[in-house]
């Protein structure tokens, strides 16, 4: 029997309120290393707030977040990303005036900013950084199918191309865990398979993914395990086949969306 993968991300009792509005009441989830985990639920369930809390864009009122053996709740976003937990957004945030390859190179992270700073006073060291980043960027552009548009300004790309560029940037940054907030948002249905292939490629390269998406058929194809939220709480988890048989999930969500699975 294969040994279970270690839990890379663990969330317990996460809560967040805004005045009298309880956006997240109690969220519990775990993400095993090397897995793709989905987080689904109706609009207003608290899913995006959970991503904000995990990634450090907001601080929780209660609960713990363990990442790679360390408690990180309350850390600022830059510190969270520095340890390898990186998020995407529903709307891609590329540098529009830069080319595709420049966007990827700009996402590179180096061990210790002091080392990079010293490199500016050592042309040989700086050239080594630049050459290594260029080689890595070219490799990622090829992997994500962006080589032919490497010199195109990023602001001119389609929604699907921008999404693939965001994945290449995440890979360039050396993410251990990627938090994807609605990766299909704003892209042509034809690109959905490309996005799925890109996520699988990230996993094959050693990344772990937690993603929010409303397209349940796509979630079923993409994810190893799925959590369901409703009214700020985690109410169930399992495979999509198991969740379809859960009356609590049906009442809260599935019965509403099975009629229109792409909503």
What average pLDDT does range 35-42 have in this prediction?
94
d(CA 133, CA 96): 20
Helices (H), the chain: 47-55, 77-82, 100-106, 113-119, 123-143, 159-172, 192-204, 216-222, 240-244, 247-249, 255-257
**pTM exceeds cut of 0.85:** no
Yes or no: say if 73 and 55 are a contact pair by the CB < 8 Å rule: no
d(CA 152, CA 142): 15
Q: Which of 2-16, 114-128, 157-171 has the lowest mean pLDDT?
A: 114-128
Residue-wise pLDDT for 221-251, tens only, equals 999 999 999 999 999 999 999 998 888 888 8
- Look at the alpha carbons of 194, 213, 240, 188 in this order and tell me if their dihedral is positive or negative: negative
pLDDT at 260: 35
Q: Which of 10-14, 61-65, 230-234 has the lowest mean pLDDT?
A: 230-234
Domain boundaries, the chain: 7-91+177-199+208-257
d(CA 144, CA 166): 10
**Smallest Cα–Cα separation from 54: which of 8, 91, 21, 22?**
8
- The class of domain 7-91+177-199+208-257 in CATH terms is alpha beta
User: To the nearest 5 percent, what fractions of the chain are helix, strand and coil?
Assistant: 40, 25, 35
Yes or no: say if 59 and 77 are a contact pair by the CB < 8 Å rule: no
């Amino acid at each position: 029997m294969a040994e279970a993968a270690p839990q890379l991300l663990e969330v317990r009792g996460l809560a967040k309120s805004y005045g009298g509005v309880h956006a997240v009441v109690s969220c519990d989830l775990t993400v095993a290393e090397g897995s793709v985990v989905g987080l689904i639920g109706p609009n207003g369930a608290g899913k995006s707030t959970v991503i904000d809390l995990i990634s450090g864009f907001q601080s929780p009122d209660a609960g713990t977040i363990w990442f790679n053996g360390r408690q990180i709740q309350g850390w600022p976003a830059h510190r969270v990303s520095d340890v390898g937990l990186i998020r995407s957004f529903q709307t891609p945030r590329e540098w529009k005036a830069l080319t595709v390859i420049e966007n990827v190179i700009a996402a590179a992270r180096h061990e210790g900013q002091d080392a990079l700073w010293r490199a500016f006073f050592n042309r040989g060291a700086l050239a080594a950084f630049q050459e290594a980043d260029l080689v890595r960027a070219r490799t990622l552009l090829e992997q994500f199918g962006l080589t032919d548009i490497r010199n195109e300004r990023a602001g001119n790309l389609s929604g699907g191309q921008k999404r693939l560029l965001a994945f290449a940037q995440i890979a360039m940054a050396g993410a251990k865990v990627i938090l994807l907030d609605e990766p299909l948002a704003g892209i042509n249905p034809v690109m959905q398979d490309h996005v799925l292939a890109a996520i699988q490629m990230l996993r094959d390269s050693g990344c772990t993914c937690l993603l929010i998406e409303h397209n349940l058929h796509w979630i079923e194809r993409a994810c190893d395990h799925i959590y369901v939220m409703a009214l700020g709480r985690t109410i169930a988890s399992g495979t999509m086949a198991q969740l379809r048989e859960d009356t609590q999930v049906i009442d809260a969500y599935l019965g509403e969306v099975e009629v229109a699975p792409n909503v």
